[in-house]
Amino acid sequence: MSERKPVVLVTGASGFVGRHVVPALAREGWSVRRTVRSPEGRNDEAVIESIGPETDWQAALEGVDAVVHLAARVHHKREEHAADLYRNVNITGTLQLARSAAKIGVRQFIFISTVLVHGRSNEGRAPFSEDDALTPRGVYGVSKAEAEAALKDLASETDMKISVIRPPLVYGAGAKGNFALLTRAVNLGLPLPLAAIRNQRAFLAVQNLSSFILYRLAHPDSVSNFEIFLVADREQVSTPEFISRLGKASGTSPRLFTAPPALLSVLLRMIGRQDTYDSLIGSLELDISKAIATGWRPQVSLDEGLRLALSAQEI
């Protein structure tokens, strides 16, 4: 008789990160159960129409050993008018899943949070670390910070091991958002006024995020039921350096030119794009020594991660 494979439930399995994490888990011997909104006719799916405070997780969690919670409300066109949506999905929805998992005897729970619980920039300060006081920005960042707090309380009441991962911008094949926009700008040869920027920013290849999730599942903490980790690539580089590396990976020469950072700051603030200023011009350095101290090591370098991101291969 063959030994039973451990079962992991993955929410958000069809999203960008999920499409990389699911096959990585399968390669490591996990039996993966994916949450889907409507039946797809596959034997590895659990139908969960929506995530919220009333979601019934019992069937989806049956026989599950671990949960990797990737699903979240990330973007909304008018974020300030969607506070209830963010709360229902990211806070009370997460807690409903975690409580249900603990009740049924799930041993491990991995929660993907965000570095935005620290804010958008550490300009003029030391790199962010897990022990810093949180200063979340935006409804999304606030919702993730509150979800973390709720999970910490739950961990003190149960035997389930909860790991919180706070990633910076995650890039890879199929990534959307800022990485997709930047890649398109480089490939189109658009002039980018960022040559004079002298910041330092953390990035995270999706392969490195996947490998940390796998490592954490294989090496749960033997003492604490609740741990938080900042995870990023080893190299933390300036915005123009990242763009140059991106161009090298795509076989193009980015059209970077110099514009005074102070002028860029004024222009972006005038059009209400403080978030763009923070993500392009501000610094966002992370201290990843706690993750490294667990024994985990990033699998790919920045250059290799960018090459994989731009290849035709999705996984």
Q: Taking the alpha carbons of 229, 315, 280, 246 in that order, is the dihedral positive or negative?
A: positive
CA separation for the pair 220, 257 (Å, rounded): 47
Please, what sign has the CA dihedral across residues 48, 53, 54, 60? positive
Neighbours of 278 (CB within 10 A): 19
- Using DSSP, state whether 262 is helix, strand or coil: helix
d(CA 184, CA 110): 32
Kindly give the pairing relationship between strand 191-192 and strand 203-205. Answer: unpaired
Tell me if residue 140 is catalytic. yes
Q: What is the side-by-side strand order in the sheet with 45-47?
A: 45-47, 31-36, 7-11, 66-69, 108-112, 161-166, 226-230
In terms of Cβ atoms closer than 10 Å to its own Cβ (0-12, 13-18, 19+), residue 223 is exposed
Catalytic residue among 86, 140, 171, 277: 140
Enumerate the active-site residues.
140
